[in-house]
Structure formats: C-alpha cells, structure tokens
C-alpha cells in the first residue's frame, strides 16, 4: 500500500521564552500557525523478512538515514505497535518514505517536524488508523517540540517546550516568506544566544495576540519573536531584511522572515514565497492507492 501526505510549514506569530528547564530545553509560549507551503511524503509499506526503513527524496541538504526525524518517527511508530500488540511480533515490514522537499531547512518553518508528524499520520492511515489521535500526539511529543502543532494544525497556542497545544480561533490572512539562501540558524544556536542576553525581553505579546484573535481584531501589532532579538545582531542578512521590511518578523529560530497581507520583492540571494495563506489543518492525506 502507498499513501501521499501533505506536510505544511508553520510560522510563529509569537514566540516568547518563559524560562530554562532542568532538562536543558526552554519553556515557551507561542502562537503557531500552519501555512500552505507543503512538503510531500510518499509512504509505502510491504511485508518483508525483516523490518527496514528506507528514506529518499529531492533535497541534497537533509540526511536520508536514522538522523532524519522522519526515520525516527517511523521507528517509534512501529515500536509502539509492537509494544501494544497492535501488530503481531512475527510480522515484519519494509517501509519506504520519499520526501519531496519544498520547505527550506533550518528556516524556523518546522520542515523536519512536519515531515515527522506526517510520517506518523501516514503510517497510521496505512495501518487503518490503529492509533488514536491521542496516541499519535504522545509519539509526536516524545520526538520534538513542533510535531504536535504540525499534526493538529490550524492556529494553536504551544506551551511547555512546544508539545502542549491548545486550539485558537482561526482567522484568514495571506502571508509572505523570505529567507537568505545560504543562511540557516539552528534552534540550539538561537536558544543559546537568547540565554546569553543580559536584558531579556518580557512583553507578553502572546496573550495580547490571543485576545485579539478571540475578539476578531487585527493581530499584526502583536506579532513578535524573542529569538529574533537573540540572533539579529549577528547576521547582516537579517538586518537587511528588517531594514527593507520593518514590519517583518522572524519565524522560529530563523532565518525566515514573514509578513502578513504584504509581499517581498524577489532579490538575488534570497528565497521568496509570496501570496501564501493561513490554513486550518495540519498534516493531511493527499492520496492513497
């Protein structure tokens, strides 16, 4: 059997750091929103003499091995099924996952996380929805910070390290994205630099934006990202974007910036996507055969 899954990107309408946790992660409060920029996963399974997970795809920038979050997602999915006796221990499967990559990597758009959430979602469809949504969310929460958001979709408040989610009112906006071609910023780098800030911001834009969503007023004045403050001075490319587009805001740990109801001009050295839209879903089935 084979299934094709659409895995959308996310942006952070707000991202605020609450504190550092004993496990080294940070507690956050963030309003995250899915947008209609998609990677596509083609997932197939067949019975085999032994279990195997094989990744391939269109990008030369990601690993197609056990380091890929989609690989880890497939592994925890099967581990769960065997552990809960949802499939017999003597049944083995060859799993093939092809990743058509359109979301830039190390961009603050959850490209790896959405692929992983899509892998769990797609495999679950191939096994006739053997896991409940709660069980899928449990697997997602154990793998990373943004997977639960990508699985659920729409507009969400994410807290703890991002895995605790609460649906928020959905409002339609168009959104445009810009990213320097040769600049990726890892979450580890951004959070480390935030920890080193002497004067840490404390604006509570998250709850102000949520209030605006709930009463239906404009949210643009409340869009904000603590991590932009942490990395901005280190990268001239980010400074140039902000100079040309003062209302733009960084998503996640960067290096993508976005604007609502506005467009970026195409420029040498930058990846640009205009006229995208907020969407009310997360990872979703595209086709099955």
How far lies 168's CA from each of 14, 113, 155, 206, in Å? 13, 20, 5, 12
Cα–Cα distance measured from residue 163 to residue 56, given in angstroms and rounded to the nearest whole number? 27
Cα–Cα distance measured from residue 266 to residue 70, given in angstroms and rounded to the nearest whole number? 32
Cα–Cα distance measured from residue 223 to residue 211, given in angstroms and rounded to the nearest whole number? 13
Q: Do the bridges between strand 2-20 and strand 284-288 make them parallel or antiparallel, or are there none, so unpaired?
A: antiparallel
Q: Give the residue among 113, 88, 272 at the shortest CA–CA distance from 181.
A: 272
Residue with token string 């007023």: 217
CB-based contact 196:31 (threshold 8 Å): no
234 assigned to active site: no
10 assigned to active site: yes
Chain-centre distance of CA 131, in angstroms? 22
CB-based contact 209:218 (threshold 8 Å): no
Catalytic residue among 72, 146, 179, 193: 146
How is residue 9 written in tokens? 């990107």
Cα–Cα distance measured from residue 76 to residue 226, given in angstroms and rounded to the nearest whole number? 32
How is residue 245 written in tokens? 């587009």
Q: 262 in the Ramachandran plot: left (φ > 0), alpha (ψ -120 to 50) or beta?
A: beta
Catalytic residue among 10, 72, 179, 193: 10
- Nearest-5° Cα angle at 90, 86 to 91: 65
**Active site residue ranges:** 10, 146
């Amino acid at each position: 059997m084979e299934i094709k899954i659409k895995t959308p990107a996310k942006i952070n309408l707000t991202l605020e750091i609450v504190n550092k946790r004993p496990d080294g992660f940070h507690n956050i409060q963030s309003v995250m929103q899915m947008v209609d920029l998609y990677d596509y996963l083609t997932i197939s399974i067949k019975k085999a003499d032994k279990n195997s997970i094989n990744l391939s795809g269109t990008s030369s920038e990601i690993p197609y091995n056990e380091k890929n979050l989609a690989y880890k997602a497939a592994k925890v999915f099967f581990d769960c099924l065997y552990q809960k006796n949802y499939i017999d221990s003597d049944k083995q499967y060859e799993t093939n996952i092809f990743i058509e990559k359109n979301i830039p990597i190390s961009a603050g758009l959850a490209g790896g996380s959405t692929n992983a959430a899509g892998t769990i979602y797609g495999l679950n469809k191939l096994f006739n929805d053997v896991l409940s949504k709660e069980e899928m969310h449990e697997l997602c929460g154990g793998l990373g910070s943004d997977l639960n958001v990508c699985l659920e979709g729409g507009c969400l408040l994410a807290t703890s390290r991002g895995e605790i989610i609460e649906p928020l009112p959905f409002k339609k906006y168009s959104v445009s994205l810009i990213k320097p071609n040769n600049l990726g910023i890892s979450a580890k780098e951004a959070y480390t630099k935030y920890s080193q800030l002497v004067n840490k911001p404390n604006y509570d834009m998250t709850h102000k934006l949520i209030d605006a969503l709930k009463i239906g007023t404009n949210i643009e004045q409340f869009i904000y990202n603590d991590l932009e403050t942490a990395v901005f001075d280190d990268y001239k490319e980010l400074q140039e974007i902000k100079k040309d587009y003062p209302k733009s805001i960084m998503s996640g740990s960067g290096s993508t910036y976005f604007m609502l109801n506005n467009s970026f001009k195409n420029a040498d050295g930058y990846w640009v996507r205009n006229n995208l839209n907020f969407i009310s879903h997360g990872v979703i089935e595209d086709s099955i055969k």
